[in-house]
Amino acid sequence: MKTPVTNIADLRELARKRVPRAFFEYADRGSYDESTLRENRAAFDRLRFRQRVMSDVDHRSLATTVVGQPISMPLAIAPTGLTGLQHGSGEIHGARAAARAGIPFCLSTMSICSIEQVRAATDAPFWFQVYVMRDRGFTRELIQRARAADCSALMLTADLTVQGQRHREIKNGLSVPPKVTLRNLFDIASKPRWAWNVLQAPSRSFGNLEGRIGGADSLTTLAQWIASQFDPTLNWDDLEWIRELWPGKLIIKGILDAEDAKLAVQHGVDAIVVSNHGGRQLDGAPAAIDVLPSIVDAVQGGTEVLLDSGITSGQDVLKALALGARAGLIGKAFLYGLGAGGEAGVTQAIELIRKELSVSMALTGALDASHVSRDILWQR
């Protein structure tokens, strides 16, 4: 008898069985000792709700807006690298599922399917996440391609100019495109459905980079490529240059300190994403949800605040809203759904979170996801 999927943890377990270890652990694990990865979960678990009763909660609204875009619930799919190696055409499946659910999808620079491939396969505009490369000409070209694809927002990731070491990527010999070795031959052979989907996809390498930066496909690990190409000189002055190239909505992802949040407001960004990169960068950094209140207080409404890192349920989303976030972003939860069941799995992940959010709002007396008070959280 097939076990029903009732939460994101169930999707994670299915993805673990269906995706080759190197790619599953790329999505699942963190940097160094993974203390921040664990803390992201523990911090959400420490927060408790106030249960309220005898209040009419029949007419609840999950709808809100993010950077001026109406969305059906306060959730977006975060940019994730190597998405198309969790499931063939993964970026396309994610974008389609998000559009159908009425939430934003953000495509990563490090995607397998290119900007153009995702645009050709989807009807709704999506966001594009950009890393600044040492080759600024190439970064300029990426932004121009995002404009040509009518992307509705540009997300600049600020916390990956130097990569924190992820031990599992090295141990697993992560390569793009995937290479068959004696070590992983059995693992890949035992997952024929995964292999078939990847082989049918329009791209199996870095779609946005293919044929543009020499040697990217031949490196044995993603970390080596990042170390040689990502630009550690990125600073706040570069925002003026980016603004000249991108007149649309601009989001900065990777803010984890109130002082950086204030600087973002001073530079006129439309939103910031409070994030520790899902525990994949600075190990030993605090959980994103723990620093969220101080950042919300620091920006004083000068920009929208979103939260990424650790969201795996609708209850996590509600806790983020209560602490001042406009919406939450899911990365791992999205990839678990994708790895478990492709586009249908992504839809399932989104709908699990939607239902959990709606039920938890009802039981705390919250009626409007765009105006959630800190009062719904229990204080000792």
Residue among 52, 42, 22, 83 at smallest CA distance from 338? 83
Give the count of beta carbons closer than 10 Å to the beta carbon of residue 266.
12
How high is the pLDDT of residue 327? Answer: 98
Selected catalytic residue, list 59, 167, 277, 371: 277
CA distance linking residue 356 with residue 262, whole number of Å = 33
CATH code that applies to domain 8-366: 3.20.20.70
- Asked whether 203 and 114 are in contact (CB, 8 A), the reply is yes
How high is the pLDDT of residue 166? Answer: 83
Query: Splitting the chain (380 residues) into consecutive groups of 10 residues, what average pLDDT does each group show?
Result: 90 96 93 96 98 96 98 98 95 98 97 96 97 90 97 96 80 66 77 92 86 50 64 93 96 98 97 96 96 98 97 98 98 98 98 98 98 94
**Hey, what's the torsion of the CAs at 170, 176, 179, 184, to 10 degrees?**
40
How high is the pLDDT of residue 214? Answer: 52
CA distance linking residue 269 with residue 247, whole number of Å = 11
How high is the pLDDT of residue 373? Answer: 96
For residue 5, give both structure tokens: 């999927």
The C-alpha R_g of the chain, in whole angstroms, comes to: 20
Give the count of beta carbons closer than 10 Å to the beta carbon of residue 284.
12
Residue among 22, 12, 38, 24 at smallest CA distance from 280? 38
- The H or E element containing residue 115 is helix 115-121
For residue 179, give both structure tokens: 């290479």
Domain limits, the chain: 8-366
DSSP assignment, residue 54? Answer: S
68-80 burial, b for 16+ CB within 10 Å, e for fewer?
eeebbbbbbbbbb
This prediction's pTM: 0.94
CA distance linking residue 251 with residue 307, whole number of Å = 12
CA distance linking residue 176 with residue 171, whole number of Å = 15
For residue 175, give both structure tokens: 């390569």
CA distance linking residue 33 with residue 321, whole number of Å = 29
59 catalytic? Reply is: no
Give the count of beta carbons closer than 10 Å to the beta carbon of residue 118.
26
